[in-house]
Structure 1
């Protein structure tokens, strides 16, 4: 399995996956922190009552919800489409690895890539906050928890799109689902949390650690039990779905 994960990284060099991911990381960080540099916002950066770090985390959550579903679909689609165009499924089978095992290797490789990328994205947002002049002490707990959950939810949707891209050769379907998911993820930020839990992409809102309260923004506690249940369900579904791929004719 390890050698196939390494092979997936070699494919990423040809697909320019890392430069694409870095561009998207920089874009999300820039858009999340853009409001910090407006004249109206600068006056509140040193006001502890205004909770500038929580407001920045909420902005980050909104931008991540808008872009992460598309990012997951594009990364998974590009990583999987190469097998359709280059007879990769047959070559992997000749080497003793089934289509399901190859999909699981792709997920492992993308997860290893997403982990530092999302960490870097969060650090860039925090760096922008400090550069803008936020002097209120930072509470790292909500930021660390949100970053970890964002990575896990991104990995879960990478699993979904890897399976979808492997099952259907037309990659516009996978990317189209990702674009629809981005709309649902942003919409979920505007509806009650109980309703968001019923929408798969709603978990980009469920993992939020900042929200509106009493006319302002403050840190909130995410429903970790629901999030864990969602991740376990997606993991089990991915394992079952990729095993069924082994029975499909190619």
Structure 2
């Protein structure tokens, strides 16, 4: 039965052209993150580190908004065309519908962020980047996908709960600005702020005019993701579409 819900959601994503939204977001981040590299002022040894730092900052600015838009469009179609009623009367449960939306959205975000990683890496190689650390590069984008997925899942629940999608879109915009602010201040308290994880997953950081390696606290990040999933499941079980 769950396979049927996934097929429904895949068809809706194609109809909504939601993949264009996330793919365009990935391309926009790639362009913005690598724009300064074309000047040729960065040495070949730091091109990759510079691209990582810029990608982290631009991702924090754009991906929360993209996650909000994706969540809003995937849910709004149900409210606009009585999709909830149709799916429930056809034998699907609300939980399975939202679960299918979550899975499809996660896959779409994974493809988009993979596209961002490949394009950014290709540009860095074309510019003559050296000191290539594949583990650090792949690790950052996997964590970026995980953090963005957390935001997407909660924004999707909010979209289901409030019906007015402007609330979800504003939440995405505010989240982006808070996430960017967390890049400017460094404090251990940020481990309790979901928005700060866009900066905490970066394997590099800027110290004055130099880019230096940064320790990524994987246990803390894994703990945040696990707690977020548990909270999301609890909220999903308590969610009521009809009041």
Show structure 1 runs of 5+ residues with no match.
Answer: none
Could you tell me whether the CA contact under 8 Å between 2:190 and 2:196 is conserved in 1?
yes
Please, what TM-score do these two structures have when normalized by structure 1? 0.92
- Give distance in 2, aligned partners of 1:233 and 1:104: 18
Q: 1:162 aligns with which of 119, 144, 156?
A: 156
Q: 2:86 aligns with which of 79, 85, 91?
A: 91
- Give distance in 2, aligned partners of 1:186 and 1:43: 25
What value does the CA root-mean-square deviation take over the aligned residues? 1.5
- Give distance in 2, aligned partners of 1:248 and 1:44: 52
- Give distance in 2, aligned partners of 1:193 and 1:219: 17
Residue 51 of structure 2: SS of its match in structure 1? helix
CA offset at residue 214 of structure 1?
Answer: 7.0
- Give distance in 2, aligned partners of 1:76 and 1:92: 18
Quick check: 1:147 aligned with 2:141? yes
In the alignment, what sits opposite 1:174? 168
Q: 1:194 aligns with which of 188, 199, 207?
A: 188
- Give distance in 1, aligned partners of 2:156 and 2:26: 21
- Give the number of equivalent residue pairs: 242
In the alignment, what sits opposite 2:127? 132
Show structure 2 runs of 5+ residues with no match.
Answer: none
Residue 103 of structure 1: SS of its match in structure 2? helix
Quick check: 1:37 aligned with 2:32? no
- Give distance in 1, aligned partners of 2:187 and 2:123: 29
Per-residue CA deviation, residues 31-67 of structure 1 (Å, 9 max, x unaligned), is 00000012xxx14333x3xx22112110110000110
Please, what TM-score do these two structures have when normalized by structure 2? 0.94
- Give distance in 2, aligned partners of 1:65 and 1:45: 25
CA offset at residue 153 of structure 1?
Answer: 0.8
Could you tell me whether the CA contact under 8 Å between 1:6 and 1:109 is conserved in 2?
no
In the alignment, what sits opposite 2:11? 10
In the alignment, what sits opposite 1:123? 118
Q: 1:235 aligns with which of 229, 232, 242?
A: 229
In the alignment, what sits opposite 1:19? 20
Could you tell me whether the CA contact under 8 Å between 1:209 and 1:221 is conserved in 2?
yes
- Give distance in 2, aligned partners of 1:201 and 1:93: 34
In the alignment, what sits opposite 2:242? 249
- Structure 1 residues 190 and 30, CA gap change in structure 2 (3 angstroms): same
Could you tell me whether the CA contact under 8 Å between 2:5 and 2:96 is conserved in 1?
no
Q: 2:214 aligns with which of 217, 220, 228?
A: 220
CA offset at residue 166 of structure 1?
Answer: 0.2
Per-residue CA deviation, residues 116-146 of structure 1 (Å, 9 max, x unaligned), is 2111101111111122233x23111111111
Could you tell me whether the CA contact under 8 Å between 2:75 and 2:156 is conserved in 1?
yes
